Structure 1
Amino acid sequence: MAARHNFRKLTIWKDGVSIVKDTYTETKKFPKSEIYALSSQMQRCAVSIPSNIAEGTSKGTDKHFTQYLETALGSAFEWETQLIISFEVGYISEETFKHLERKIQIIQGMITRFMENLGKS
């Protein structure tokens, strides 16, 4: 069965991949003591966002796709929390924090609207 959505064409997937790239760029600057802690957790959360969107596109029903979108959304909120912690402990600048906070909040909104639209079909 072919996917009903081509994940590579979905803006939410593309923006998710962009968050992954931003995450790796920023976590490289974290203290080495964080390599298996906060930086690793942020990387896993970031990767989870587009990965779950892609996996969801392979599902046969909108209900199943929505479950994967919910997981992606949960990862986005978890990542935002880790971003806040990174800023609070001084690992990222206020400018970077504000930029990435806005970016993740846009993605959260887009995933939410995408799920709402799936529910209408």
Structure 2
Amino acid sequence: MLEVKSYRDLKVWQLGMDLVHAVYEHTKHFPQSELYALTSQVRRAAVSVPSNIAEGHARESTREFLHFLAICSGSLAELETQLFIAERLQYLDSTALKATLGKCDEVGRMLRSLQKTLRVKLG
């Protein structure tokens, strides 16, 4: 098993970064009128995912890491909802929605697995 020395070693963080990249690529095409509304919210929610993984990993305790992973899960649910909104408003086509939700699902599964592992560690 690979030793985790940095949050950058975590596959879930790496996939979170890929998710941010995908979201930024898609939101480039949102209407200019949404720049300070939905575009900003979608981007913030996406950025929150790997950011909270990194911050939680840097904390002093497993319990704190779990807290930040819970925040991360909430941001992921927020992002998914905003992506559905973007599709309903026809800012995002169904192919892009499906691909991005697939990334969200993968990150979500990895988050839940990491949370489960950390809870076992807590006892």
Is TM (by shorter chain) over 0.5? yes
Shift of 1:60: 1.7
Conserved 8 A contact 2:23-2:100 = no
SS at match of 2:58: coil
- Residue of structure 1 in register with 2:117 after alignment: 117
Taking the TM superposition and a 5 Å limit, the aligned residue runs for 1:19-98 are: 19-98=19-98
Runs of 4+ residues over 6 Å off in structure 1: none
Identity %: 36
Conserved 8 A contact 1:5-1:57 = no
Unaligned runs of 5+ in 2: none
1:111/1:5 CA distance change after superposition, 3 Å: farther
Q: Which amino acid aligns with 1:74?
A: G
Q: How far apart in 2 are the matches of 1:31 and 1:99?
A: 21
Conserved 8 A contact 2:20-2:46 = yes
For normalisation by structure 1, the TM-score amounts to: 0.94
Unaligned runs of 5+ in 1: none
Shift of 1:75: 0.4
How big is the alpha-carbon RMSD for the aligned residues of Structure 1 and Structure 2? 1.0
1:76-119 CA distance string (max 9 Å, x none): 01000001111111011111111111110111111011001100
